[in-house]
Amino acid sequence: MKTRHLLTVCLFTLACSGIVGRLAYLHVVQRSFLQAQGDSRTVREVKLPAYRGMIKDRNGEALAVSTLVDSVWINPQLIEPADPKLNALANLLKVSADNLRKKVVEYTASNKEFLFVKRHVEPVVAQQALALNLPGVNLTQEYRRYYPNAEVSAHVVGLANVDNQGQEGLELAYNAWLQGNAGKKRIVQDLQGNKVEELGVVADTQHGNDLTLSIDQRLQYLAHRELQNAIDKHQAETGSVVVLDVHTGEVLAMANYPTYNPNKREKNYPANVYRNLAVTDAFEPGSVLKTLSLASVFEHTNITPETTVNTKPGYLRLRGGVVRDLHNNGVLDVASVLRESSNIGITKLVLNLKPKQLLDTYERFGLGWSTNSGFPGETGGKLPAAIDDQPFVMATMSFGYGVSATPLQIAQAYAIIGASGVKYPVSFIKTDYQPEGEQVLDPKVARQVLDMLTYAVGHSKSNARVSGYRVAGKTGTARVAGPDGYLEDKHRTVFAGLAPAINPRLAIVVAVSEPNVGGYYSNQVAAPVFAQVASGALRLYKIAPDIKDTHGVYVAQNGNNDS
């Protein structure tokens, strides 16, 4: 008995020693390994989403904001694919139940523990998802981009995707400035994925920076509305309106049609709808370029506004082709050549130039080059490489064929005329100072051209006139080029102008493509849009009328011309 008792005590002591030794080994030698293993099952690092910077207009109005929303995710390891509650969750979140079930099976087999079911859901729906009491269902907070003005500013502001990455417009151009950097924190979870304890922040969140645009949302609404009205009235295909500040180069408004609602990412818009046509699409602008051609004539020859040109009999044969006017305008002075938009008149004037002189003038006005606005996808249009010994090419170029430009480029060119020949850099960002400009045209020539543009709009039949104000501008109507030449029944109408004509403040360009109802000439389609936008803008900026007969229009005077 004593031997058995002693043996039992020894075995018990040995067993206890083994257990104590094993505990000591696990707690001392294996402590770091075991703690890491435990933490890997219960401790998680979760993102602290960064707030994407706000985009505002020049007056502080929100154009793009980020708001916290819930996203629904599940732990596939805790869910039975056959559970009927999984179907209920799919139906609630309006996702495919079959696809969700397949993903659960796939993620379970891959030992994955995180699967988004639906991101950026309404708070009520998120709570209903939790109320289903399906194991493994969780919510996480993310920031969703929201655009208060929807379609109105879509092409300028652009949009960000579900991961808050800029995809279009200025959201893309300034993505690094706006997006910020997400932070991290550690939490303890239970087996169901519920948060038990917060262990602290690992990395601080760096929120994005705000961005203030040059856009004036009041003027943007006006441009959008008037363009939309013209598109509907004439059943046109596309259109653009650009408004520049003559003295700073800031883009005050830029509207396009067709447009889209950036708040409805799920809507399947055609890819071309996202393009900012005013920046990315160049076209032959037609007679609005006669203004630049005339500037070149004044700059390089002794021709004056009083010089006369014989446009009889309404056509002019040149080597390479025939130039025609709509009517036989007879003998015209230079100002009337512009007013009557005589192709023959401008051709005879331009043929006094050397080809390089005309090309040089166009280039100084910014044609053939990007404005360097920084807008994604901006194009510089095209100029001929050379037009030596090609009088017909030089003639057609003088009235806007064989040259392509965007509405933004045309607006900058007219802004140069309004700024006494100074070219300011185009900017979508608000500037708080007078930017440095480049003198690209003789101020005297700019004034001569401006006076003739004012005379052109002063025509009693002009639909670009603005009650109470003198404005300046030029029409342009061009045929659209097809695969086999210019199409007889498709046109693009353009109006480019300055308001007011005395000390211009705004350069405005309207372009409408392929109007199908109510005429296709610029004076019928584009000029009325210019008049409405200019009229609203002049009153919005409290610029006093300069014509005594204002037809009942009254503008409040307060000495403050805020923009």
| DSSP helix, strand, coil percent of the chain (3-state; round to 5) | 40, 25, 35
Give the residues across from 339 on adjacent strands: none
Show the beta-strand stretches assigned E in 25-112. 43-48, 55-56, 62-74
Active site residue 287: yes
The residue annotated as part of the active site, out of 71, 153, 214, 287, is 287
> Could you tell me which of 191, 198, 76, 46 has the C-alpha nearest to residue 137?
76
Alpha carbon distance 140, 163 (integer Å): 14
- 377 residue type, one letter: G
Residues 6 or more apart in contact with residue 143 via CB below 8 angstroms: 49, 50, 51, 52, 66, 67, 68, 69, 164
Burial of 271 (0-12, 13-18, 19+ CB in 10 A): exposed
Burial class (CB in 10 A: 0-12, 13-18, 19+), 367: buried
Judge contact between 441 and 536, C-beta under 8 A.
no
Please give the helix or strand (H or E) that residue 5 lies within, else none.
helix 2-24
Q: CB neighbours (10 Å) of residue 195? A: 12
In Å, what is the CA distance from 451 to each residue of 44, 51, 335, 338, 461? 72, 51, 9, 11, 18
Residue with tokens 């938009």: 341
Count CB atoms within 10 A of the CB of residue 298: 24
Active site residue ranges: 287
